[in-house]
Structure 1
């Protein structure tokens, strides 16, 4: 990585670090066998607790690719098939009704054209989720909120376990026919529930056995590990507002493991996951997941007509594979078409460019205020993408 070093990446990120901006961050960049990393800022707004590169962060929606890969491991095992209806394991989702239009009343529905499949969950096309083209309230979104099943910023202390969530949502209609619309978040949550039903264990236990332990990701879990509490701080919202304190929701055992946004991790842990994906699903001589499934995960799976109705990026530049975004054209930052990864709204981003072989991971303790990444993330991506 001849044009990158800890010093020049820190130089690019330093102007974005401070109590009024991003209080603290860690980052990592890989180019082949060369890895550089760094830490800037502090765990607290007072500037008394400097960060080190092993800081643990809430990675929120960077959980989604991990959930997707866990499901693909079950496909590799033969326990799941991509094309099978999920109501085999989630019978609460059988015989779905679909709203005539997204703002329709809950009883203004038609039958679903077909069942929801495993592929629908992995591609965010189950028919349920956040519509990035229209954030206005609807009768369905109001019903979600009333039942505690609405997508939104992660709040593990209030998460419903699989059986309770499905019972609460089982009579609600879909927003769109399965396979026809990309809608965010809920499909990843349902993927985690599917994994729990198939494996007969909590999602975190399955991830630990099948991914974290084989990869040595010892700081990644659905709560802060006991050995890492001194490397974990608050997550800040706007200004001095605290979204979650160091001894808050992620310090407790959650009632449910959210496959959409529940994990904590470090840059050194998450790059192990990124390396597994970039390497086609094998670590050393041990294969964790079929290579063709990893290839599909990191390839856009959205048909042109589906992407035209709304996708991960407002400019249409990003499609979706299995649990992660995939660029369908080169990005202004220099990332190649086919680059993949995802963000976390509590202040994180991962991307891998398969053409150059470069990976970037940036974790911060300041949550985003919009779906578009803050300037620090754009600057980091541009530096890695154009190096």
Structure 2
């Protein structure tokens, strides 16, 4: 596995990476290449900091379930009390309808709707300009993307509340946006900023000492450079550098979905993965009940909704969606059994656990996902992680 990954670095596909595979107490870590492409870039280290983007979604799901278990939120209860901007929704008659052609929502949005990305809004899987709602989402500044959300949470929700839903609550899966809303929900229901809640209730108990929404000066030497491929030349160009990084200051919007989002390390995510594999326990501390962990890693999407919920080709063939991440529903050419749970991030990061194999695996890179090449690297790594078990 390490040899294959080293080939990508030596060919210049990316400046460096950190890969980790753990089973039980055995942990293998490969830190390859450098943190950037310049001659002064330091070597990649086991504790290098990476922007994890949508890998934040499982963390946000755990934060939400903590409040469910405390009784501050109800899984199948309305979110109207905490998110009045989403009360009394109107729903487009059809996805291609004019914004004024709406019907009343049949019911209120629930916590489960947000966790399962079935609350009615999200990324529209069609070319830009196909439907009027796409331009409205862009103008409201609530589009999914790499750029961090710059509005504070209350303004973000005000803008979100100006939009009609595309689908009735609970009827279709639409990627991403529900987790940005969940971050606001957790903050309001807990009475804490979302970043403070994550730190106090999740990161400190799990000793995830490097996971945060910004990087202090004393840690900035460990922050890798993020790259994007120039579509014309194919060359990697620096997109966010440690010296003037967006992550050098706390964000206006602590993102639950990962847009802007968290930085983390291999060992921090290993601690999180082991907590999931231990059914919610970390050492002598229980964070979540086994029932909540089981729900996270159980497919929540009925087959008829998968058929009507486009994502990328083949996504639903052997995959479902739990809380915060994807769940394999049958052997899929990567793992030999169902039940693998995890998610990736827009900078090429990948994280998954397999309860049947007692396996945690993650690949951390910093090259923006712009096409199938980046997805191919994550797929190759995931297959090699299972082959390593056989060896």
TM-score of the aligned structures, taking structure 1 as reference length: 0.93
**Could you give the per-residue CA deviations for residues 272-304 of structure 1, whole angstroms, max 9, x where no partner exists?**
111111111111121111220111001111111
Aligned partner of 1:305 in structure 2 is: 304
Q: Compared with structure 1, are the counterparts of its residues 350 and 248 closer, same or farther at alpha carbon in structure 2 (3 Å cutoff)?
A: same
Q: Deviations over 1:60-83 (max 9, x none)?
A: 000111011000011111111101
Q: Which residue of 2 aligns with 1:107?
A: 100
- Say which SS state the counterpart of residue 362 (structure 1) adopts: strand
Task: Give deviations 1:331-374, integer Å, cap 9, x for gaps.
Answer: 21235311110000112000111211111110002111137853
Q: 1:77 aligns with which of 64, 70, 79?
A: 70
Residue 225 of structure 2 aligns with which residue?
Answer: 234
Q: 2:47 aligns with which of 48, 54, 77?
A: 54
Distance 2:367 2:336 in 1: 24
1:335/1:359 CA distance change after superposition, 3 Å: farther
**Structure 1 alignment gaps of length 5 or more:** 1-8
Whether 1:219 and 2:210 are equivalent positions in the alignment is yes
Aligned counterpart, 1:120: 113
Post-superposition offset of 1:88: 1.5
* Structure 1 residues 139 and 349: alpha-carbon distance in aligned structure 2, compared to 1, 3 A threshold: same
Alpha-carbon distance change, 37 to 229 in structure 1, aligned in 2, over 3 angstroms: same
In structure 2, the CA distance between the partners of 1:135 and 1:124, relative to structure 1 (3 Å rule), is: farther
Structure 2: distance between partners of 1:370 and 1:165:
29
Task: Look up the SS of the partner of 1:330 in the other structure.
Answer: coil
Match of 1:6 in 2: none
The answer to whether 1:24 aligns with 2:16 is yes
2:249 corresponds to 1:252:
yes
Q: CA deviation at 1:150?
A: 1.1
User: Taking structure 2 as the reference length, what is the TM-score of the superposition?
Assistant: 0.92
Q: Identify if the C-alpha distance between structure 1 residues 130 and 26 changes in structure 2 by more than 3 Å, giving closer, same or farther.
A: same
2:4 counterpart (12, 25, 30):
12
Hey, what's the Cα distance between the residues in 1 that align with 2:336 and 2:249?
38
* C-alpha separation in 2, matches of 1:131 and 1:117: 21
After TM superposition, the structure 1 = structure 2 runs for residues 47-196 of structure 1, keeping only pairs within 5 Å, are 47-48=39-40, 49-132=42-125, 134-137=126-129, 138-153=131-146, 155-156=147-148, 158-196=149-187
**Preserved CA contact (<8 Å) 2:19 2:29:** yes
* Cα distance in 2, alignment partners of residues 131 and 328 from structure 1: 25
Partners of 2:246 and 2:15 in 1: CA distance: 20
Q: Distance in 2 between matches of 1:364 and 1:374?
A: 12
Q: CA deviation at 1:195?
A: 0.3
Q: Is the 8 A contact 2:348 2:378 kept in 1?
A: no
| Structure 2 CA distance for partners of 1:141 and 1:312, relative to 1, 3 Å | closer
Aligned to 2:232: none
Q: Deviations over 1:131-189 (max 9, x none)?
A: 34x34432112112112111112x33x42222101111212101111111110111000
Higher mean C-alpha deviation, range 229-238 or range 375-384: 375-384
Residue matched to 2:288: 289
Structure 1 range deviating more: 343-352 or 325-334: 325-334
Q: Which moved more, 1:301-310 or 1:90-99?
A: 301-310
Q: CA deviation at 1:117?
A: 0.3
Cα pair 1:98 1:175 within 8 Å, conserved: yes
* Count of matched residue pairs: 376
Distance 1:142 1:94 in 2: 23
The offset of 1:19, in angstroms, is 7.2
Distance 1:22 1:377, change over 3 A: same
SS in 1 for 2:65: helix
User: 1:254-293 maps to which residues of 2 (within 5 A)?
Assistant: 254-261=251-258, 262-293=261-292
- Of 243, 246, 253 in structure 1, the residue corresponding to residue 239 of structure 2 is 243
